[in-house]
Structures are given as structure tokens and as C-alpha cells.
């Protein structure tokens, strides 16, 4: 195993742990039904640094940490739902790494606008992928909690859609604020 592989694995473990700690110890800023949380940013940065595989593994570890520490216990109805929402959904945040080649090219060419544009596109890919799974689980498993007369689809769309919106806005804002440091953060040499 090369030094780069070991470094990558250490970063995966560390950034997954940072995402977990942000999830546990920070309170989302809430306005009405929308809560703003930036807890996915470590997995997004991991995905831009090392690519899709590393991001997927980091998201999986974050979901695993939620399960083994009991953080997932209140949101675990059965095995299938728990697997979808804590393993599949969190893993899919790593799809942000699909834009790594474009991020690397923009970084190499010192094009800040392109770097931010592709990082924000990756953020949309990662957050949307995660919340599609939450939406599906919401329809199938949580739909019975919808208010009387409201369809499970509408209920899941509003609850999960507002969560997606708030978390995506927060992550986009943090990535934008980190812009002066992105060149250094994304360097793997």
C-alpha cells in the first residue's frame, strides 16, 4: 500500500468523523420548516479531493457511525428503511466526486469561477442524491405519519424537500466561504 493510499484512507476516516461530529454537536439554524446545516461539507470536500470512491466510502462511514453510536435509533423503523436512510443515502453524498476531474482542471488553471461552479454542481449532485433516497423512504416508510388527507408523496416531498433545500443552501454557502482555501484543501500532492 502506497503512502497516498494510506493518506487517503486516513482522510476518509477523519472527514467522515468530522461530518458525524458536526451532525451530533451542531444545531441547525432553523427558520420555519427549513433548517440550515452544513454537516455534509466534510464529505463534499473529501469527494473533491479524492474522487467518487473516497466520497462514497466517507459517506458510508458517516452513516455507519450514526448507527453504531445510537444516533440513528430514533429514525430507524425497520432494517430496510434504516439501511436506505443511513447507509445508502449517506453513501450517495460521495457522488459529488463525479466533478473531481473538472475541479482538478479548474484548480490547475487557477480558474476560481470554474472551481466554485463545479464544486457547487458537485454539492447539488451529492445533496440531491442523498435526499432522493430520503424522499423514497419517506413515501414508503414514513407516509403513514402524514397529516390526515395528505398523500405520502406530498408529505415526503415537503418534509424531505425542505430539509434538502436548507442543507444544500448551507453547504453551498460554506463551500463559497471556503473559496480562499479551496486550492489548498483540494491539493493531494
pLDDT, tens digit, 9 for 90 and up, residues 71-84 = 888 888 999 999 99
pLDDT, tens digit, 9 for 90 and up, residues 84-96 = 999 999 999 999 9
Task: Express the helix, strand and coil content of the chain in percent, nearest 5 each.
Answer: 80, 5, 15
pLDDT, tens digit, 9 for 90 and up, residues 30-64 = 777 677 899 999 999 999 999 999 999 999 999 99
**Position 189 confidence tier, pLDDT thresholds 50, 70, 90:** confident
Question: Rounded to an integer, what distance in angstroms lies between the CA atom of residue 51 and that of residue 166?
Answer: 25
E strand or H helix at 50, and its extent?
helix 41-50
Distances (CA, A) of 94 to 54, 58, 76, 120, 131: 7, 7, 22, 14, 13
pTM of the model: 0.94
Q: Is the pLDDT of residue 9 over 70?
A: yes
What mean pLDDT comes out for the span 122-133?
Answer: 98
Q: What pLDDT is recorded for position 33? A: 63
Question: Rounded to an integer, what distance in angstroms lies between the CA atom of residue 81 and that of residue 107?
Answer: 39
Task: Give residues with Cβ within 8 angstroms of 45, minimum separation 6.
Answer: 15, 178, 185, 186
Task: Give residues with Cβ within 8 angstroms of 142, minimum separation 6.
Answer: 77, 152, 155, 156, 159
Question: Rounded to an integer, what distance in angstroms lies between the CA atom of residue 86 and that of residue 111?
Answer: 36
Are the C-beta atoms of residues 32 and 170 closer than 8 Å to each other? Answer: no
Percent of the chain with pLDDT over 90: 82
Find how far residue 114's CA is from the centre of its chain. 21
Question: Rounded to an integer, what distance in angstroms lies between the CA atom of residue 137 and that of residue 112?
Answer: 38
Q: Is the pLDDT of residue 134 over 90?
A: yes
Q: What pLDDT is recorded for position 45? A: 97
Find how far residue 5's CA is from the centre of its chain. 23
Q: What pLDDT is recorded for position 185? A: 86
Q: Is the pLDDT of residue 1 over 90?
A: no
Q: Which 8-state DSSP code applies to residue 115?
A: H
Q: Is the pLDDT of residue 122 over 90?
A: yes
**Position 19 confidence tier, pLDDT thresholds 50, 70, 90:** very high
Q: What pLDDT is recorded for position 57? A: 98
Amino acid at each position: 500500500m502506497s503512502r497516498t493510499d494510506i493518506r487517503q484512507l486516513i482522510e476518509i476516516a477523519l472527514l467522515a468523523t468530522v461530518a458525524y461530529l458536526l451532525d451530533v454537536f451542531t444545531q441547525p439554524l432553523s427558520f420555519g420548516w427549513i433548517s440550515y446545516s452544513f454537516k455534509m461539507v466534510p464529505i463534499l470536500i473529501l469527494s473533491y479531493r479524492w474522487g467518487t470512491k473516497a466520497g462514497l466510502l466517507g459517506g458510508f462511514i458517516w452513516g455507519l457511525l450514526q448507527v453504531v453510536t445510537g444516533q440513528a435509533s430514533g429514525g430507524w423503523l425497520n432494517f430496510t428503511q434504516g439501511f436506505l436512510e443511513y447507509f445508502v443515502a449517506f453513501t450517495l453524498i460521495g457522488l459529488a466526486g463525479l466533478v473531481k476531474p473538472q475541479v482538478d482542471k479548474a484548480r490547475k488553471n487557477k480558474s476560481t469561477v470554474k472551481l466554485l461552479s463545479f464544486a457547487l454542481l458537485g454539492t447539488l449532485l451529492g445533496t440531491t442524491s442523498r435526499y432522493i433516497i430520503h424522499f423514497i423512504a419517506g413515501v414508503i416508510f414514513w407516509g403513514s405519519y402524514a397529516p390526515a388527507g395528505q398523500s405520502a408523496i406530498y408529505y415526503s416531498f415537503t418534509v424531505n424537500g425542505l430539509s434538502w433545500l436548507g442543507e444544500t443552501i448551507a453547504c453551498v454557502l460554506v463551500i463559497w466561504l471556503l473559496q480562499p482555501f479551496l486550492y489548498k484543501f483540494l491539493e493531494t500532492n
